[in-house]
Amino acid sequence: MNAPQALSDYAHLVQTDRIHGSIYTDPAIFEQEMARIFHRAWLCLGHEAEIPQPGDFRATTLGRQPVLMVRGDDGQVRVFMNRCRHRGMTLCEDETGNEKFLRCWYHGWVYRNTGELEDVPLANAYGAQFRREDFGLTPVPRMESYRGFVFASLAPTGQSLLEHLGLARRYLDIFLDASPTGEIDVTAGVHRTRYRGNWKFVGMDGYHPHYTHRSVMDSWKRRPGGNMANLHHGDPFSDESGNLTRDAGNGHVLLDMFPSRLAHVDEYLGGIRKRPGGEDYIAAMQEAHGPQRARELLAWAGDPHVGIYPNLQLIGIQIRIIRPLAVDDTEVLMFPALLKDVPPSINEMRLRQHESFYGPAGAGAPDDAEIFERNQQGLGATVEPWVYLARGLERERQDTDGSIIGMPGDETTQRGQLREWKRMMSEA
Ligand code: FES
């Protein structure tokens, strides 16, 4: 039972109620993850609102491969391999910037921000067959956007983005539709966490807050009228809260705190109304979405707390991108998204909420990183290698939309993610 299994025996490594710790620690399995998940699946690169102006770009990665998300002079967002067509140098060393032309530092080939090769120094040495139009930047094999969220895949074929998102598409809508115009501004910058632990630890665990974040939870309980501008009341992770863990399929999972937020939406709206322009914001939401949907969206507060498998999470106001660097090394990029077309006081409130828990000096995220590192260390003890994930297994059930739901602290979310992990890893 404890003996290491063959690398490909994922049915053994991921069982219904337990998983083998090696999936967090084995460098060979990490290599397989790069090949079978990160170099194949739809990965989110970010949101088009990060690069609003013609020429804006972000250099990032698809798994280990460097890519460039750039808005061309024609206004269109494209994703290219970040590789010069001459001898393969990366074109952009800066992570972000604005360029009309991208010049390779090595021998000076120049590309337009729409991808065409514009200029080749001393081009007459290439002979008559050389055609510049044959050497434009290489697009990623597949790219699709959903309401500005840019996804790309290194696999030339496979399910469409909408098929991949499935039921989870509605949570991207909830994130965006906290603005009456459905638009966001993602130019506030990025902050990042890097921890010495596996990428699969990140997020969607409703069991840990009472312990890892106990001091924060206690302070919420002490604060009259709830916390974070009345967003949560009492304990949102208790069985009595009405909240849920939800497995929406394809590895997409969330801590669904909508039930308790809807139960307390009037208190939340009372807090909004006290802010400058708050009444206008509520009126604009009702005008845009109708009273019933506006009430639901305001209760969600643009916070679906969802993980879109494998590398995107929408938590609070942040677009969170997970970037695995090694089996025990992970970077998490957090982009605060402001709402467009709302009073400044609403965005100010949302930013303060974000900073208080997730910011570099926040009360929550640093604890998570510390816990992930200790988790990685503990998994180095392999005499008994199994990780037990049966919490709530016998009481989870199917919701009317087909998703699987459990109580707030149940491991429905981890099981949903790992079920998809096993499926992807088992595909030849
Ligand atoms: Fe880019 Fe030579 S590698 S110009």
Torsion (CA) 181, 183, 188, 191 in degrees, nearest 10:
130
Instruction: Look up tokens 């290219």; give the residue.
Output: 80
Yes or no: say if 299 and 268 are a contact pair by the CB < 8 Å rule.
Answer: yes
Residue 5 has pLDDT above 60, yes or no: no
**Distance in Å, CA 107 to ligand 1 centroid:** 5
User: What pLDDT shows up at residue 208?
Assistant: 87
With 0-12 / 13-18 / 19 or more C-beta atoms within 10 angstroms meaning exposed / middle / buried, residue 309 is buried
pLDDT by residue (tens digit) across 201-258?
988 898 888 888 888 777 767 765 544 444 556 778 888 889 999 999 999 999 999 9
Residue 2 has pLDDT above 60, yes or no: no
User: What pLDDT shows up at residue 219?
Assistant: 75
Torsion (CA) 91, 74, 50, 30 in degrees, nearest 10:
-50
User: What pLDDT shows up at residue 78?
Assistant: 98
**Distance in Å, CA 104 to ligand 1 centroid:** 6
Torsion sign across C-alpha atoms 285, 289, 293, 297: negative
pLDDT by residue (tens digit) across 44-93?
999 999 999 999 999 999 999 999 999 999 999 999 999 999 999 999 88
Residue 132 has pLDDT above 60, yes or no: yes
**Which residue, by CA, sits nearest to atom 2 of ligand 1?**
107
pLDDT by residue (tens digit) across 347-386?
999 998 888 888 777 878 888 889 999 999 999 999 999 9
User: What pLDDT shows up at residue 1?
Assistant: 39
User: What pLDDT shows up at residue 153?
Assistant: 98
Tell me the C-alpha distance between 203 and 199, whole Å: 10
Average pLDDT score, the chain: 93
Tell me the C-alpha distance between 327 and 268, whole Å: 42
Tell me which residues have their CB closer than 6 angstroms to ligand 1.
84, 86-87, 89, 104, 106-109
Work out the percent of the chain whose per-residue pLDDT is above 90.
81
User: Which position has the higher pLDDT, 192 or 72?
Assistant: 72
**Which residue, by CA, sits nearest to atom 4 of ligand 1?**
107
Tell me which amino acid residue 294 is.
Answer: A
Strands of 318-326's sheet, edge to edge? 191-195, 329-336, 318-326, 312-315, 306-308, 253-256, 244-247, 404-406, 397-398
User: What pLDDT shows up at residue 335?
Assistant: 94
User: What pLDDT shows up at residue 318?
Assistant: 94
pLDDT by residue (tens digit) across 259-289?
999 999 999 999 999 999 999 999 999 999 9
All structural domains of the chain: 43-154 (2.102.10.10), 166-426 (3.90.380.10)
User: What pLDDT shows up at residue 7?
Assistant: 60
Tell me the C-alpha distance between 345 and 282, whole Å: 13
- Secondary structure (DSSP) of 259-306: HHHHHTHHHHHHHHHTSTTHHHHHHHHHHHH-HHHHHHHHHHTT---E
- From 104, 117, 119, 130, give the residue whose CB has the most ligand 1 atoms within 8 Å, as the site to mutate: 104
Categorize the per-residue pLDDT at 16 as very low, low, confident or very high, splitting at 50, 70 and 90: very high
Tell me the C-alpha distance between 69 and 144, whole Å: 12
**Distance in Å, CA 137 to ligand 1 centroid:** 12
Tokens found for residue 197: 């632990």
Tell me the C-alpha distance between 7 and 23, whole Å: 10
Tell me which amino acid residue 203 is.
Answer: G
DSSP one-letter code for 227: B
Instruction: Look up tokens 């109708």; give the residue.
Output: 290
